[in-house]
Structure 1
Amino acid sequence: MDWLRKKLKLYDDHKVGDELAKQALIENHGVIDGGNTGQLTSLKTMDACYLVPAFSGLFCPYWREDARGVIAGIGEGCTNGDLIAAGYRSSAYQTQEVLQAACETDRGPKRRPPRVISVDGGLTNSCVLMQSLADITGSKIIRPNKSDVMTALGAGVAAAIAVGIDPTDLLSIRQHEGGEQEANTFRPLVCPKTRRMWIRGYKNAVQRSLNWQTDAIAAAADSDDEE
C-alpha cells in the first residue's frame, strides 16, 4: 500500500484511500461494509483489476525469484479506487494462498482452514481489507481493540516461548488492555462459488507475474550475441 500511496500517489491519507477502495468495490461487487452490518447485494465474478505485488519475487506458496509485480485485468473504466482496492485485496489473496498451503499435507486428509482468524497491525485499520479477508478466506475475522498492543504482545509471547519462559503472565495483559473485547467482527458475505471465481482471477494474474526476471536475462544474452 505504501507503493500505491508514495510512488503512484493515488491517495494521500489512508482513510481517503480506504473510502476510495470501498466505493470502487461497491460499484464492482455490491455493498461491502465493515463490521457486522454489511450485506453484499450484487456480485461480479472478477475484480476490476488484480495487483500481484511481487516486487522482489513471490514467496509462499510459489517461491519464485523470477516473478515481478503486475497489475492485470485493467479496463478503460478502471479508477484509482479500483487500484487501491486491488492493493488491499492482494493481501487477502496472499493470506488465502498461505492458509491453503498450510492445510495441505503429503499424507492423509487435508486440514481444515481456520474458521476464525484474529488479526492485528496497521493494515487492520482498513475495513475494506478486513471484509475482503473474510470474503476471500471464508473465515470470520476478528479485529481486537488496540491492535498495536496485541502486535507487541504477540512478539513478547513468541520471545518468551523461544527462551523457555511461561507466557501466561504476558497473556493477562489482554484483559487490562481490553484486547479480549471484539472491536469488529467481519464475516464472509459471498458464496463459495463467487469466492472461487475471485481466487481464480488472482491466480491468473499471478501466472502473468512469472518468468519476468528469466526473460530479462535471456533478452540481455540475445543482445550480447547480436553484438
Structure 2
Amino acid sequence: ILPEVKDCCADFGMTAKDLLGAEIPVAGVAGDQQAATVGQACFEPGLIKSTYGTGCFAVVNTGARRVESKTRLLGTIAYRIGGETTYALEGSIFMAGAIVQWLRDEMKLLDTSADSEAMARDANPNSHAVLVPAFTGLGAPYWEPDARAALFGMTRDTGAREIVRAAIESVSFQTRDLMDAMAADMKEAGLSSPQALRVDGGMVANNWFVQNLADILGRPVERPEVTETTALGAAYLAGMQTGFYGTMADVARHWRCERAFSPEMADSERGVRYNRWRACVTKVIG
C-alpha cells in the first residue's frame, strides 16, 4: 500500500510523457528543508543553514547520530545517500518574511518589501523598541501557540523607521534563540557547536538584515551565490543519482559564498539587546 522507502538519490520512476512532452527520470527526492540543507552543502556535523521565507527554518547537521533535543527542537533525518543516514536538528520560526508583509500590507509602513532595508538602516540605533512577532504564537524553542504579538519600548520619538527596524531585528533574535538551543543540544551530545551560519531565501537579499543577524549571533553569516537552495538541493540529489555529480564532496565544491558578513556589534551591546528581547518574550508568554 505504501511506497518503498528509498535513499534521497534513487530511481523513483519516470514522469508521464504527456506531462512534459517526454519521460523524465525522477532521481532525487527530499523535504524542502532537507533539500535546502543539501543545496547549502551542509554535509559535515556542525554545518548549519537557515532559510528565510515566510517563516524561518534552521537545520544543523548532527552526523550519524540522531540527537535527542533537550531544548524542544526536532531531531530529524537530514538525508540518506548511499544507504547511510545523516541526522539533523531543526527549529522553526513562524514569522520571518511574513513580518515584512505585515509592515507593508497591514501597517502601510512600506511601499515595497525592499524599502525595509533603507528604513531599518536609517532608524535611530539607540531605539529600545522591541517587537515580539507572536502573531500566530511562538515557534521553537518556546512552542507557545497562545502567545500574541506585542511592541515594547516605544517613546515619543519612536517612528516608522524604528518599528521597521524592530520588526526585522526580531527575526535575528529568534534565530539567536534557535542557534543557542542547537549549541546546547550539540554540546550535550558531545558534538561541535554550529559556527558560521549559511543563509538563503528571499529575505536574505536585505543586507541590513543579514548584517544585523551576524551582529546578534556574534558569528559570521554566509550568503551563497545561489539563494534558491531548496531547488538547488533537489537538483544536486538528482545529479548525484544520474552521474552528473560524483559524490557529496563534488557537490560541496560547487558551493560558493557571495558575501560573508562578520559581527560588528560590541559584545556588551549584543548582550544588552538580546537580554532586552528575552525579557520582552517573557512578558508575552506570561
Q: TM-score, normalised by structure 1?
A: 0.70
In 2, the alpha carbon distance for the partners of 1:48 and 1:166 equals 54
For residue 201 of structure 2, what is the aligned residue in structure 1? 121
* Conserved? CA contact 2:186–2:193, under 8 Å: no
Q: Quote the Cα distance in structure 1 between the aligned partners of 2:140 and 2:117.
A: 27
Q: Equivalences for 1:144-159 in 2 at 5 Å?
A: 144-148=224-228, 150-154=229-233
Partners of 1:143 and 1:75 in 2: CA distance: 35
1:182 to 257, 261, 267: 257
Report the counterpart of residue 199 of structure 1 in structure 2.
Answer: 274
Q: Work out the CA distance in 2 between the residues paired with 1:156 and 1:111.
A: 30
* Alpha-carbon distance change, 79 to 147 in structure 1, aligned in 2, over 3 angstroms: same
**Partner in structure 1 of residue 214 of structure 2:** 134
Q: Report the AA paired with residue 120 of structure 2.
A: A
Which structure dedicates a bigger proportion of its chain to strand?
2
Task: Give the C-alpha shift of residue 166 in structure 1.
Answer: 9.5
Give the Å deviation of 1:192.
2.1
Q: Cα deviations across residues 107-164 of structure 1 (Å, max 9, x unaligned)? A: 858866422111110000111110111001111011111312x23223556x77xxxx
- Quote the offset at 1:182 in angstroms: 2.4
Secondary structure of 1:209's counterpart equals: helix
Query: How many Å separate the matches in 2 of 1:67 and 1:166?
Result: 48
Aligned in 2, Cα 1:13/1:124: closer, same or farther, shift over 3 Å?
same
Which position in structure 2 is the counterpart of 1:91?
171
Counterpart code for 2:142: Y
- Residues in 1 aligned to 2:150 and 2:233: alpha-carbon distance in whole angstroms: 33
Q: Select between 201-210 and 111-120 the one with higher mean Cα deviation.
A: 111-120
Residue from 93, 110, 114 that aligns with 1:15: 114
Give yes or no for contact 1:114–1:139 (8 Å, CA) kept in 2: no
TM-score relative to the length of structure 2: 0.57
Distance, in Å, in 1 between the alignment partners of 2:166 and 2:202 is 18
Give how far 1:186 is off: 0.6
Rounded Cα–Cα distance in structure 2 between residues aligned with 1:191 and 1:58: 28
Name the structure 2 match of 1:82. 162
Name the SS of the counterpart of 1:101 in structure 2. Answer: helix
Q: Number of residues paired by the alignment?
A: 184
How has the CA–CA distance of structure 1 residues 167 and 9 changed in structure 2, closer, same or farther, with 3 Å as cutoff? farther
What root-mean-square deviation, in Å, do the aligned CA atoms of Structure 1 and Structure 2 show?
Answer: 3.0
Does 108-117 or 72-81 show the bigger shift?
A: 108-117
Residues 174 and 81 (structure 1 numbering): CA distance in 2 closer, same or farther, change over 3 Å? farther
| CA spacing shift, 1:6–1:107, aligned 2, 3 Å | closer
Q: Distance in 1 between matches of 2:269 and 2:211?
A: 15
> Is residue 62 of structure 1 aligned with residue 142 of structure 2?
yes
Contact kept? 2:186, 2:192, Cα under 8 Å: no
The letter of the residue matching 1:198 is R
Q: In the aligned structure 2, how far is the partner of 1:197 from the partner of 1:167?
A: 51
Residues 153-172 of structure 1 correspond to what in structure 2 (within 5 A)? 153-154=232-233, 169=245
For residue 210 of structure 1, what is the amino acid of its counterpart?
A: I
How big is each residue's C-alpha offset from its partner over 1:63-94, in whole Å with a ceiling of 9 and x where there is no partner?
Answer: 11221111111111111111111111111110
Where do 5+ consecutive residues of structure 1 fail to align? 29-43, 212-227
Cα separation, partners in 2 of 1:173 and 1:102, compared to 1, 3 Å: closer
Give the number of the structure whose residues are more often helix, by fraction: 1
Give the Cα separation in 2 of the matches to 1:67 and 1:82: 23
Do the aligned residues in 2 keep the contact of 1:88 with 1:128 (CA within 8 Å)? no
Asked if the contact 1:131–1:187 (Cα under 8 Å) also holds between the matched residues in 2, the reply is yes
Same amino acid, percent of matched pairs = 27
- Residue 53 of structure 1, aligned match among 133, 156, 181: 133
